[in-house]
Amino acid sequence: MTNIVKRSVSILSAIPKEEYLLKCTSACAGCSSSLCLRYVLKAAGPDSVLVVPACCTSVLQGIYPGTAMNVPVYNIAFAAAAACASGMSDAFAKLGKKTNVIVYAGDGGTVDIGIQALSGAFERGTNFLYICYDNEAYGNTGMQRSGSTPLGARTTTTPGGKLTAKKDLDRIVEAHNPPYMATACSAYPLDLYKKVKKALSIPGPKFIHILAPCPPGWRYPSEKTVEMGKLAVKTGMWVLYEREFGKLAISGPSRAAMRRPAPLEEYIGGQGRFKNMSPEILDEMRHQVERSIRRLASEEAGAC
């Protein structure tokens, strides 16, 4: 235990001091996606370009001519991020530049309107990193349901709670056999930092799916943002893992959580979006978590 803590601290101190996301964003208080972006950019460094479709990150950069961004950011239409990055990546290849091309997209722009472009770019073997930060709804339009909204969650377009399960984006991406893909969570910045570093060291299409809790959307107090992310992982609602050339490796925090998940109610109970959820829905959600844990655990153990 002591050793693990020491190692973490030493790596944490290795995170660059340089800031590429400046302290003047127009993000909401307690925004976890901007927290993630800060670590993503620290891992990527200054020779990087962000391609951003319509999402909360379009807003949090600030209003022209001001900006909170200290790397080039190319803002593009909702459905077009992966394709735009595709062209940019090929332009840099043509020019002999090693610049990182990173898509930073929300869940709506990834699992819904952007999924065709995402699939195309991965099928073509585009050399880029696609990061989906997932707050499980259309955030910057005021929390409408997306394909990534979980079962039972209330949004402005599912006032009675969503009746269908969250789209399994990771298995869709996995079907493209990318050389590297991972999940991450805003509450585990070091894990995220390392995954971005590793992803950018591998040529070809890479994918990182970050769970990014959202105080106004999930209806919890701003100061609970880190706690909410930790609970997602500890309850097994969100599993942290990496997949290098198809091979699955569960990440440390989830390894412990999967052995003995915290009660789901600890995660659900703190969020207004799950208020008044029926016991049946809660049961179904519990089954989903169990199925997901079982599937990943048995795959890692080589049982499937």
Partner 1 sequence: MLTIATGNKAVAAAAKAAEPGVIAAYPITPQTEIVEQIAEYINAGDLASQYILVESEHSAMAACIGASVGGVRTFTATSSHGLLYMHEMVHWAAGARLPIVMANVNRALGPGWNTWAEHTDAFSQRDTGWLQVFVSTVQEAYDATLMAFKIAEDERVLLPVMVNLDGFTLSHIMQSLETVEIGDFLPPYHLPHAIDTENPCVYGPMTGPNDHFRFRWDIERSMRDARGVIAEVEREFAERFGRSYAPTEDYRCDDADVIVIAMGTLGKEAEVAVDRLRDDGIRAGSMRLRWFRPFPDLDLAGREVVVIDRDYSFGFGGVIAGSVRAKTGIEPYSVIAGLGGQEVTYNDIAGFVRDRRPGEETWFGVNEDV
Q: Which is nearer to partner 1, 106 or 261 (CB)?
A: 106
- Distance, in Å, from the CA atom of 268 to the CA atom of 142, rounded to the nearest integer, reads 21
Least separation in angstroms between CB 89 and partner 1: 8
Least separation in angstroms between CB 87 and partner 1: 3
Q: Which is nearer to partner 1, 46 or 272 (CB)?
A: 46
Conformation bin of residue 132: beta by default, left when phi > 0, alpha when psi is -120 to 50: beta
Whether the CB-CB separation of 40 and 69 falls below 8 Å is answered with: no
Q: Which is nearer to partner 1, 25 or 135 (CB)?
A: 25
Q: Which is nearer to partner 1, 16 or 221 (CB)?
A: 16
Residues 6+ apart with CB under 8 A from 295: 304
Least separation in angstroms between CB 263 and partner 1: 41
Q: Which is nearer to partner 1, 207 or 218 (CB)?
A: 207
- Distance, in Å, from the CA atom of 130 to the CA atom of 234, rounded to the nearest integer, reads 26
Angle at 282 (CA atoms; ends 281, 285), nearest 5 degrees = 85
Report the interface residues with partner 1, using CB under 8 A.
Answer: 46-49, 51, 58-59, 61-65, 67, 69-77, 79-80, 82-95, 99, 116-117, 119-120, 123-124
CA–chain centroid gap for 262, Å, is: 22
Residues 6+ apart with CB under 8 A from 146: 107, 108, 111, 112, 136, 137, 138
**CA distances in angstroms from 50 to 37, 55, 101, listed in the order given:** 10, 13, 6
- Distance, in Å, from the CA atom of 146 to the CA atom of 135, rounded to the nearest integer, reads 10
Structure tokens at 275: 């208020």
Least separation in angstroms between CB 168 and partner 1: 21
Least separation in angstroms between CB 176 and partner 1: 12
Residues 6+ apart with CB under 8 A from 299: 248
Least separation in angstroms between CB 270 and partner 1: 31
Q: Which is nearer to partner 1, 127 or 158 (CB)?
A: 127
Least separation in angstroms between CB 37 and partner 1: 13
Q: Which is nearer to partner 1, 1 or 95 (CB)?
A: 95
- Distance, in Å, from the CA atom of 117 to the CA atom of 134, rounded to the nearest integer, reads 18
Whether the CB-CB separation of 49 and 102 falls below 8 Å is answered with: yes
Least separation in angstroms between CB 6 and partner 1: 35
